[in-house]
Chains A and B, each alone.
Chain A
């Protein structure tokens, strides 16, 4: 059990790369365009004369002037200065699994990349077949009637749910009375935030002794003002709410809708169906569970599926199969949350992932992710200073466990953020801490998923053990980490100061008195 990996002598690439705005020299070019052909210029004249006076740009934008080669090398240096899962990344809640490169390659060919959303459906049969095929597979996994891939991420799907909720009660003439959406402290912040943006009041149920809010607390919160429940299950501490069916019955009895934020699907895929639990709608993250890359935060897809009753509210255009041909039709234009049918390349990657995996494959993946998490838990809890959130609960956690480094912090002053900063010195990507609110102090949340080997998991744990050991030996060394990274730890002395922060080079120059 106590494997001891040989820790690598890692050091990040350090190019000391200038900011692109400082680079280049006047007259250098990275792209040139063909001059307009003489027939064009003869017919229409100079471009400048075709622009209304006063609409012309007086001074060119102060962009850098680089050769093609210089621009390429600059951004390759930046890529090398990004750890980006080149080592091991167990960033919890994001299910950092391997992203098959075959899907990447196919998604970049002109048959996908060079298609336009307004092409006639008969010229998009490949894309529409993929959309429809994925829809059907997700119906199998969720029991929902139909899916849309329009939302560009999980939060966008949560917002779609809030918008559909609004629309649903408007059609029933109840919108004025249905003003509240209920969620829990462990639901992802996008649930209360999107519901509030859609005009609802938020009721957030606190966790109780069992790691989730009690059914009694829910009953006390539910009323004829309840529009919807928006909830994750399991939560990102790996705790599954066994009362969820009764929760749903309670909300339904009061006339509300129930939305399942299935961000934590990896451990339950092939085991439960959202619709069979009673949910009216659910959301899957194609960029997490379904093998599409995280991409630093999108392009992503929050696949939103719902029951027959809500299906008419899905935003258009929808894909239908009519006698073997795929057509684009219908949809409710009042709840459109993003232009077009969705991030097509991401949809293709998710489709490919499910076709590669099959039913047995996804069930096995869920098994492995739960085994891996519980294996990690055994080893992590053996490390000094590491405890588990709600450690009085003895049941095995699902695909994630939340831990706390509060003991370590108390003993040494070293915090979870310090540990993050030191672990990256070993080529291990930062772990996830916790969404707001922090229910346990100094939290961290690894998620193994199914794609990391036992050696990788052991290595990750050994790195954490090493950092904890360093913390007890020489806390300052950890608190000043990283030491082997691209740059040192951020001090951030200007970040809260409107006089000094700078999101652009332009602002930076102005505030530093470096006006051009």
Chain B
């Protein structure tokens, strides 16, 4: 090939790089492992230093949740054609584009919205984009968020909203939680709402598992001042909980991870944005999205991107925010998961999660010194108060780990006013035996 190019050495092809730009020293990487056999063994040696939720019992949730992933879902998303696709033509990537459309269509049914964008990096990113959509729609700057939000997720949203000193930011103001119920304090919401509010962001279930059953009222109050209601959801709840689209939400966001994506150490997260199919909202999407469309062959359907010119790919800094590679492969897993689940699967999942989490809550609350902060009205996750035990959550988790349990989310540093409190996540993967084992081990740890 060098001969055909007309050079004698490859060095000649690097002629554009000035000598004083070249590396001062050669990079020192560890010795190469060209053999797959050797590499595989090295990787296995490394990753087997991890403990995981199939060998240990785990009650960790808080934004990444352990759910059953049906075997066919893994079979589908690992297919090479999906895994190594890039941006083909609508004809040659038709199958992948159809899977994307089916992701959007099925998610739309779950949340009761009919315009769904392709996914974004995470739930936190989805909140960030959504509040900025609301900011552009209303020309206002204030966003009301729940006091008891996830610091991890809301931290991301805050980065998107900007620094106060930058002058072009959105300002987040927390709405108090009602202490006896953990739900949004509507009086406080009423006090904060005004014509400077761009959006109210609320989650159902809330970060701490609480079912927010006042959404319609929150929506009414929000719309009275001309603000947008953004609702964050865990989509696995939507087989049993009313969809935000039917409760007055204008923009719905949430996580795609629990829809058939493994936890992946946090690398399973993905986010979605959905709205009513109204031009007002559609024109503010920062994402790419696919639409069903026609081909030059009468009667034939295909899929194509729409509203590309308002994305940063199409309009650079004039576009709506910015987009790029996201988690598009996970939408294939999400689509396959939702298809396998169907309405009955989601209903069963919801029932199972509700019953099992309440079972765990009721068993744990019988332990001496242990109480559940909000013993009713939650989904999947609940807050356990260990203050009376005299032990720290850190110590409890440490002791549980020695007993083969990955433990619970320590809230003591996140919500200091709760003292030594923790959040437990219980899903369909936890059998009654698992929950009883947790209770017994915890009882011994607290003895």
Q: How many Å lie between the Cα of A28 and that of B343 in the bound state?
A: 10
Docked complex: A434-483 residues within 8 A CB-CB of B = 435-437, 454, 480, 482
Give 17 pairs: A residue, B residue, CB < 8 Å, sorted on A.
A39-B359, A51-B379, A82-B81, A126-B46, A130-B47, A153-B121, A176-B167, A190-B322, A192-B316, A193-B319, A242-B16, A272-B21, A296-B96, A338-B121, A359-B32, A378-B5, A495-B293
Find B94's partner among A29, A81, A344, A421 (CB 8 Å cutoff).
A81
Q: A411 contacts the other chain (Cβ, under 8 Å)?
A: no
- B113 neighbours in A (Cβ, 8 Å): 504, 506
Is B82 in contact with A370, judged by CB distance below 8 angstroms?
A: no
Question: Is the C-beta of A330 less than 8 angstroms from some C-beta in chain B?
Answer: no
Min CB distance, A26 to chain B, in Å? 10
Q: What sequence of 0s and 1s flags, for each residue 19-63 of chain B, a beta carbon within 8 Å of any chain A beta carbon?
A: 011111011111111101001101110111111111110101011
Q: 1/0 contact trace for B64-79 toward A, CB 8 Å?
A: 1010101010111011
User: Cβ of A109: which chain B residues have Cβ within 8 Å of it?
Assistant: 47
Report chain B residues within 8 Å CB of A12. Answer: 91-92
CB-CB nearest in chain A for B297: A488
**A80 to B432, alpha carbons, bound, how many Å?**
42
B141 interfacial contact with A, CB 8 Å: no
Cβ of B84 within 8 Å of any chain A Cβ, yes or no, is yes
- Total residues of chain A contacting the partner, CB 8 A: 212
User: Are B50 and A125 in contact, with the CB atoms below 8 A?
Assistant: yes
The total of interchain contacts (Cβ-Cβ below 8 angstroms) comes to 725
Q: Which residues of B contact A337 (CB under 8 A)?
A: 121, 125, 156, 159
Q: How far is the CB of A336 from chain B (nearest CB, A)?
A: 4
Min CB–CB distance B305 → chain A (angstroms): 8
Are A102 and B95 neighbours in the complex by a CB distance under 8 Å? no
Whether A340 lies near B317 (C-beta < 8 A) is: no
The CB with the most chain B CB atoms within 10 A, among A75, A119, A342, is that of A75
- Interface 0/1 of A338-367, CB less than 8 Å to B: 111111111110001011111111110001
Closest A residue to B119 by beta carbon equals A298
Q: Which of the candidate stretches A195-203, A217-225, A383-391 sits at the interface with the other chain?
A: A195-203
Contact-size category for B: 35 or more
Query: Which A residues lie within 8 Å of B90 (CB)?
Result: 487, 489-490
B86 adjacent to A503 (CB under 8 Å): no
**Quick check: A271 and B332 within 8 Å, CB to CB?**
no
Known interface pairs A50-B355, A298-B328; A63-B341 also in contact (CB < 8 Å): yes
Which residues, 300 to 358 on B, are CB-close (under 8 Å) to A? 300-302, 304, 306, 312-317, 319, 321-330, 332, 335-336, 338-352, 354-356, 358
- The reply to whether B269 and A115 contact each other, CB–CB distance below 8 Å, is no
Query: Which residues of the other chain, B, contact A503 by a CB distance below 8 angstroms?
Result: 101, 104, 108, 114-117, 277, 289-291, 306
Q: Is B389 an interface residue (CB 8 A)?
A: no
Residues A494 and B291 in contact in the complex (CB < 8 Å), given A371-B10, A435-B313: yes
Additional pairs, 6, CB under 8 Å, beyond known A68-B72, A487-B300: A44-B362, A119-B60, A125-B49, A193-B321, A359-B28, A437-B316
Report the minimal beta-carbon distance from A117 to chain B, rounded to whole angstroms. Answer: 3
- Please list the 5 inter-chain residue pairs (A to B) with the smallest Cβ-Cβ separation, ordered nearest first: A155-B324, A358-B32, A340-B266, A81-B95, A117-B266
> Are B1 and A21 touching (Cβ within 8 A)?
no
Q: Are B83 and A493 in contact (CB under 8 A)?
A: no
What is the minimal beta-carbon distance from B41 to any residue of chain A, in angstroms? 10
Interface 9-residue window, one of A85-93, A250-258, A303-311: A85-93
The minimal Cβ–Cβ distance linking B238 to chain A, given in whole angstroms, is: 6
Instruction: Please give the distance in Å from A326's CB to the nearest CB on chain B.
Output: 9
Chain A residues with Cβ below 8 Å from B369 are: none
With contacts A82-B93, A375-B4, A375-B5 taken as known, whether A167 is within 8 angstroms of B163 at the C-beta atoms is: yes
- Contact A119–B319 (Cβ < 8 Å): no
B80 CB–A CB distance under 8 Å: yes
User: Whose C-beta in chain B lies nearest to the C-beta of A195?
Assistant: B317
B88 within 8 A of A: yes
Q: How far apart are A55's CB and chain B's nearest CB, in angstroms?
A: 4
With an 8 A cutoff between CB atoms, is A118 at the interface?
yes
Which residues of chain B have C-beta atoms less than 8 A from A54's C-beta?
213, 216, 242
Contact with B along A73-103 (1 / 0, CB 8 A): 0111111111111100101001010011011
Residues of B within 8 A of A300 (CB): 325-326
Q: How far is the CB of B48 from chain A (nearest CB, A)?
A: 6
Cβ of B342 and Cβ of A488 under 8 Å apart? no
